[in-house]
Amino acid sequence: MLKFIIENNEKYQPGLSIDCVIFGFHDNQLKVLLIKVPHNERWSLPGGFIPIDQDIDTAAVTILNERTGVEGVFLRQFATFGKIKRNDNHFGNEVLEYLNISPEKGKWLTQRFVTIGYYALVDFLKILPTRRNEGQIIEWIDHKEVPELILDHKEILDKALNTLRIELNLMPIGYNLLPEKFTIPELQKLYETILDKKLDRRNFLRKITNIGILTKLDEKKNNVAHKAPNLYSFDKEKYEEVLKNGLNQGW
C-alpha cells in the first residue's frame, strides 16, 4: 500500500496524514486497535495519507478501512499533531530499500508531514478487523499494555484517551456498548473502566438517573449470586436528545 502511494503520490495531499485511535470496549475491558507492518518492529495506529479528491472526514473512513478492513464506525476528529521533527528518519534508507522505492521518489515520504487524529469508541466484538497487506498484524491490545509505538503515536493515543474522558463529561455513552438490558453496576463499570477511577455508587446512580436517559424495567437480572439487581434500558429518544444538547455535569 505504501509503495503504491509513493508511486502515485500525485493523487495524495503532500505533507498531511491521518491517524485513527479505535478504542474497543467489551466485558469491562478497554482496548485499542493497533497494527504492525513487516518492515518495523514497533506497533502503530492505523493511519495513512489523504487522497486529494476526498475531504478529511471521508479520508479518515477510507484510511481506516484500507488499513484494517473496519467500516461503519463514526470517527471524531480530536487533535492535530505537527512537531517539526515528528517523522525524522522514520522512513529511512532501510525502509525505502525494503519497499524497493528509489531515494528520489522517497523524498515525498521523508518530508515533514502533519497528522490529524480521529478516534472512536466501539464494542470490539462487533468490529472485525481484517489484514489488508501480506505480513501485516492487526490486534486489539489492552490500553494499559500498549507496546512501544512508532513516531509520536503514543502521544496521539494518550491525547485521544484524555479527549474520550473529557467528552464523557459532556455526553452519555453506553448505547452501543452494553446489552439492550443492563444493570446500574454494569453501566457504572463501563464509566469506571474508561475513566480509570472508582465512582461512588450512590452519586453515580443519582447523576445517571438525573440525566433522564434510563428506563427502569419491570425485570431483574437472572443467575446472580446475590440479590438480583433491577434491569434498565436506554430511552433512545431521550438519549439522542442529550447527545445533541450535551450534559452539564462531570464525573
- CATH no. for residue 223? 1.10.10.10
Over residues 142-176, the pLDDT tens digits come to: 999 999 999 999 999 999 999 999 998 889 999 99
pTM of structure? 0.89
Task: Give me the count of residues in the chain.
Answer: 251
CA distances (Å), 8 to each of 1, 4, 65, 87, 203, in order?
11, 6, 19, 21, 56
Q: Is residue 159 part of a domain?
A: yes
Q: Are strands 214-220 and 114-122 parallel, antiparallel or unpaired?
A: unpaired
Are 152 and 204 within one domain?
no
Are 225 and 113 within one domain?
no
Q: What is the pLDDT of residue 85?
A: 83
User: Range of 34's domain?
Assistant: 2-167
- CATH no. for residue 129? 3.90.79.10
Are 212 and 160 within one domain?
no
- Over residues 229-248, mean pLDDT: 91
Are 239 and 161 within one domain?
no
Are 155 and 57 within one domain?
yes
> In which residue are the cell numbers 529511512 written?
92
DSSP string, 198-210: ---HHHHHHHHHH
Q: Is residue 102 part of a domain?
A: yes
Q: Which residues pair with 146 in a beta bridge?
A: none
Among residues 101, 115, 135, 117, which one has the least CA distance to residue 9? 101
Give the chain's count of helices (H) and strands (E).
Answer: 8, 8
Are 118 and 38 within one domain?
yes
Over residues 87-144, the pLDDT tens digits come to: 777 776 677 777 777 777 777 777 888 999 999 999 999 888 988 777 789 999 999 9
- Over residues 45-56, mean pLDDT: 96
Percent of the chain with pLDDT over 90: 66
Q: Is the pLDDT of residue 51 over 70?
A: yes
Q: Is residue 235 part of a domain?
A: yes
Q: How many domains does the chain have?
A: 2
